[in-house]
Structures are given as C-alpha cells and as structure tokens.
Amino acid sequence: MYDMSRRKFLGSTAVTAGAFSLGNISGCGTKAPETPAAENIRWHLLDGIGRENIKITDVKVTLLSYELPPEEQWIIHWGNWAKEGCVCWKADSILIEVFTDQGIVGIGGPSQYGGPEIMKKYTEEVIKPSIIGQNPFDIELLSCGSAPITRGRKSGWAGIDAALWDIIGKAKNMPVYKLLATDNEPNPHVWTYASAGEIYKGSKWPEDLIEEAFRHRENGFDAFKFRPWIAWQYTTPYFKRPMTLKEYIPILRKLREAVGPDFYLIQTDASSMYLTIEQYLEELCPVLEELNILFLQQPMSNSGDDAIENYAKLNEALPNVLIAGGEGISQRSGFRELIDYDYYDIVQPDCGICGITEAWYIARVAHLKGKLCAPHNWHGGLTTMENASLTAGVPNGYILEYNQTFNPMREGIFKEPLVVKNGHIDLPDKPGFGLEIIDDVEKKYPFLPGDYKAVR
C-alpha cells in the first residue's frame, strides 16, 4: 500500500516555499503545484493586494438548528457527559453576516461548540461595536489573535474573521483560497475523509463500524476516521468503560480485513483510552503499523513532565503512521512548542475556532518545519467552507475532515452547496467563498434553544 515511510518523507522534505509534493504522500493523489515565479510571490497575507476604501456598517448573527430524529441522535462519548448518558439531539449553526458601505456582504460561521446563544450575545455586544466603521482589509488588526484559548464565547471572532475574508475576496474579485496562497499555487480540489464511527443507541461493534466504512466507500470516500474502543451498555447511562486493547485490537484487524488494503483508515480520539506509553509501544503501535493506519490523532496529553519524551517514543515507534493533533488549540503560540518538539506530523487547527487568519499562520509555522495541515472540521457547512479554503490555500494542505453525523444544514443552507464527489470537494472559482445563503434560512432552520447535549 505504501512505497515509502511517510515520516521519512516529511523529515526529508525541503521547507522552502511551495516545496511540499502532496502527490508523494500516500493517498493524496494530487500532483504537486509548481512554485510561482519570484515576482508573483506575496510574502505576507495581503502583501500586494490593493487596499479598497470600504467600511463595515453592520453585523448580523443568525442562530439555526435542526432537531435530529431519534435514530440519528448519537451518544456523547467524552468527558463526564458520557457517564450521564447524554446524546446529541440537535445540530446548530451560527451564521454571521458583515455588511459594508459598498454593498458587499461577507458570510462566516464559528464552531457551535462555543455555545450559540452566548456567542451571539458576545458578538453583538462586544465584537460588533469594535469593528463598525473599520476597514475589512485591516483583518489582522481586527480579528487575528482574538480566538479563545478554549472554545467559548470569543469563538464568535472566528465567524467575523471568515466574513471579512469573504468581503476582501469579493472586493478583489478573488476566491479566498487564492488570497491565502501567497507563495504557492492553490489546490481547490480538496481531498476529504469521512469523519464518523459514532455510537448510537443499540450500536454493535464491529458490525456497525464495518458497515459504516462500506457505506462511506460507496459514497466515494477513500478515507475513514472512526472513534475508538468504547464498550457500551444500552440502558442509561450508556457509557460503561473504555474498551481494553485485548478487546479493541481484534476489531481493528476485522475492520482492515473487511475494507481491504486500499481504503485509508484514521484512528482518532486515542487519548480517550488512557493508555500508558508502554501499552502504546508494546501493544498498539505495532498493530497500527501492521494495518497501515494513515494517521493517529491525539494519542495522549500534550502537557506533563514526560510529554516530550513520550511523543518522541511514539514517533520512533510509528515510522509510517503519522501523528496528528491540536484541534482544541486556537492560537499559533499553542502550537509552537508542539511543532518545535515534533509532537505532530499533522497540525489540525479549526477555522471555526481560531479563524482563518490565525489558522493560516499555524499552517505556515508547521510548513516551515516540514509538517502537514489537516484542519479539524466537526461542524457544518459554514465551517467546511472556511476549512476547505484554508486546506486549498496553504502549501501543506493535506486532507479535510468531513463530519458524517446527520445534519441537513451542512448543504441545505446554501443555494449551491459544497458537495463531496469521489472523496474531494471542488471549490468554486468565484469571488470570496463563492457561496450564497438561501432566502429565509432562519425560517427553514429555526433555532432550538438549549444545549445540544441532553440526557435521554
């Protein structure tokens, strides 16, 4: 399946601008773009992009929801919520529109996990007054670095940041992903993976997991990320205990055997099994190598006195399996040490949390160290629009997460939505994001108050 060590490839890759040959990384299947001539290179985000005389006049926040039918409500498997038997009973989306005196309207959306109602309040009462009358081309002064350390009310800045990029792209008649490609040719043919493997009431492993993998392959995906090793009981509370390696490793082998050698498997949420470094090195890592797992996401905590040493051992034990992480980190400063100490081969910023601007800087810092960028994207259509543009625009854009839990808003809020075909999203060659919101979207998807988690 693989003709070379992916980690060796990363380590030997030149880190000059445009040096990533994505076609050399197993599974990407994309020819490396040629580096532009020196006279066409922009050394900073808006370097050489002529400033327009334009001012922000208003900000509108619209909260949207869709109640999931009972059979599509998935069990929350992290934190104390799992012990309480919580399920996800609705999908939320937060539409932010920024208006200007030139009639240009920009759209964006933050991650809903910051809390829709608290983000709406913060955006209207704090962010809006601070940007009215400002020029969107001052985007780095207005929004960059404003992301929260953790998901919360300040995630509203991420939606503002995206809307400002949409305005700039429309004002300059350029797609956002082209604006982000400062010293490389963009790649609007974005490779995606099916992010799934959730547990539903009555789920049976490995049968349901294998069936789901086949379903995603039939829908054109060639890569599948699944949640790990939770043993369940099917009365409240649903959560029982972490699955042991003795129970879990046979499931991994059954999954690989079922889907064959040419279907990419991605293991996520590895830290939820609370393995010791010895269990990783002696039991799990050899199996991940044997089964050609594409990448292992967030195997353990980033903090602690032994974190640096443990990640070094993991990297040595996984010469072919890449290590990814960082979805909950919202600022480049949080990634800096993890990149410098080679924790990750792949960084996973989320434009819905940190904003496109900050995510671009995170990706570029990673690029300097020969690392890839595969944004976290566990949300809806607006964040997919943003994270796909980032993946297409940066030179180390690798693959994009595409959430597979039921959510009609993912495509339904757009007049011409982004659609995955043959495992890829093709971004439109239109100004800004090139997408329009349907008329009366708030009537089609009226907001449902309350937390998306509920004890059922």
3-state SS of 122-178 is: HHHHHHHHHHCCCCHHHHHHHCCCCCCCCCCHHHHHHHHHHHHHHHHHHHCCCEHHH
Q: Classify residue 451 by its DSSP letter.
A: -
What the block records as the tokens of 338 is 């993890």
What are the Cα distances from residue 72, in Å, to 50, 90, 197, 374, 375? 48, 9, 13, 27, 25
Whether 307 and 170 map to the same domain: the answer is no
Tens of pLDDT, residue by residue over 245-259, are 898 899 999 999 999
Where among 160, 176, 192 does a domain terminate?
176
Q: What is the pLDDT of residue 81?
A: 58
Tens of pLDDT, residue by residue over 334-389, are 999 999 999 999 999 999 999 999 999 999 999 999 999 999 998 899 999 999 99
Where among 176, 193, 222 does a domain terminate?
176
Q: Does the residue 129 lie in any domain?
A: yes
Distance of CA 245 to the CA centre of its chain: 28
Q: Does the residue 87 lie in any domain?
A: yes
The rounded distance, in Å, linking the Cα atoms of 40 and 178 is 12
Q: Where are the alpha helices (DSSP H) in 55-95?
A: 79-83
Whether 140 and 200 map to the same domain: the answer is no
Whether 229 and 363 map to the same domain: the answer is yes
Distance of CA 389 to the CA centre of its chain: 11
Tens of pLDDT, residue by residue over 63-79, are 999 999 999 999 887 66
Sign of the four-CA dihedral 219, 225, 228, 232:
negative
Q: Which of 21-35, 83-97, 98-112, 194-208 is modeled with the greatest confidence? A: 98-112
Whether 274 and 208 map to the same domain: the answer is yes
pTM of the predicted model, to two decimals? 0.92
Whether 206 and 329 map to the same domain: the answer is yes
Whether 165 and 205 map to the same domain: the answer is no
Which residue type, as a one-letter code, is found at position 42?
Answer: R
Whether 166 and 261 map to the same domain: the answer is no
Sign of the four-CA dihedral 392, 395, 144, 352:
positive
Whether 123 and 254 map to the same domain: the answer is no
**Structural domain total, the chain:** 2
Q: Is the separation of the CB atoms in 100 and 56 below 8 Å?
A: yes
Where among 176, 211, 240 does a domain terminate?
176
Whether 11 and 103 map to the same domain: the answer is no
Q: Does the residue 419 lie in any domain?
A: yes
Q: Does the residue 71 lie in any domain?
A: yes
What the block records as the tokens of 103 is 């009639």
CATH of the domain at 60: 3.30.390.10
CATH of the domain at 369: 3.20.20.120
Whether 206 and 353 map to the same domain: the answer is yes
Question: In which domain, by residue range, is 144 found?
Answer: 56-176
Q: Does the residue 42 lie in any domain?
A: no
Q: Does the residue 40 lie in any domain?
A: no
Whether 291 and 363 map to the same domain: the answer is yes
Q: Three-state SS for 59? A: strand
Q: Does the residue 445 lie in any domain?
A: no
Tens of pLDDT, residue by residue over 289-307, are 999 999 999 999 888 889 9
Whether 31 and 132 map to the same domain: the answer is no
Q: Does the residue 229 lie in any domain?
A: yes
Q: Is the separation of the CB atoms in 380 and 351 below 8 Å?
A: no
